[in-house]
Amino acid sequence: MTDTREPEIRVSEIFGPTIQGEGALIGLPTVFVRTGGCDYRCSWCDTLHAVDTDYRDQWLPMSTDAVWDKIRELSAGKPITVSLSGGNPAIQPFGKLIQLGHDSGYRFALETQGSVSKDWFANLDMLVLSPKPPSSGMVTDWSAFDACLTAAGPKPEIALKIVVFDELDYTYAKQTAARYPQLPVYLQPGNHTPPPADDDNHAVDLDGVTEKMLWLVNRVMQDQWFEAHVLPQLHVMLWGNKRGV
């Protein structure tokens, strides 16, 4: 017997409106749908509450309609950009949600490491591909990454966003940008103080982040890599590692 039940979305948190804190849409008012679950385990992950299965009891299975109702409630029914994040949001069934939102004038952006591709990528407004550099401890599967680009096709805007902690990461970022010269690239200094899973301490080493930002700016200028955008994590500067902002 065929199971015709609609798949549920595993939600870690839905919050906003607030500003997008990083990448190609930095500063843009946004509602965030953060999903639970990820196929990566980056050494410096700053959203472990949405990644590690130790916290899966905090992830709420929600129907698409329930997620959509929450987005409309938070935005007071006024169209806004919705950021689909995680974890790895690409493992969730977002096709119907994107269609519902588009029918009401909302826009959808997805950020993913490029390890899982879905056909609904083609209906996104913005796809941010954030391959993980050597400091993460992960290894990029470029065939899977290319499959994400193929699935997206010509419709969404696509950008690269790469976190940089050190010289090896910087080299990885340059090599990745050279591999995909058609894509704009956004560089971001790493956050050395990821939040604890219990969210009791929001402090961040702003001096350390600023020092890393200055190093990254100088490195890009030294190489005359004038195509790169170098940006901070604006939300970290404003709220530290607090969840839900």
In this prediction, residue 240 carries a pLDDT of 64
- Return the structure tokens found at 62: 């929600």
Residue 60 — φ and ψ, nearest 5°?
A: -100, 120
The answer to whether the beta carbons of residues 158 and 127 sit under 8 Å apart is yes
In this prediction, residue 237 carries a pLDDT of 64
Which stretches of the chain score pLDDT less than 70? Answer: 1-4, 192-203, 235-245
Helix (H) or strand (E) holding 140: none
In this prediction, residue 245 carries a pLDDT of 54
CA atoms of 148 and 150, how far apart (whole Å): 5
Distances (CA, A) of 202 to 155, 158, 195, 232: 38, 31, 6, 17
In this prediction, residue 235 carries a pLDDT of 65
Sequence-distant (6+) residues with CB within 8 A of 136 are 40, 42, 43, 44, 163
| β-pair type (185-189, 157-164) | parallel
Closest of 75, 84, 83, 70 to residue 17, by C-alpha: 75
Closest of 183, 138, 192 to residue 161, by C-alpha: 183
Domains of the chain in sequence order = 9-239 (3.20.20.70)
The answer to whether the beta carbons of residues 161 and 186 sit under 8 Å apart is yes
In this prediction, residue 238 carries a pLDDT of 60
Sequence-distant (6+) residues with CB within 8 A of 216 are 164, 170, 187, 189, 230
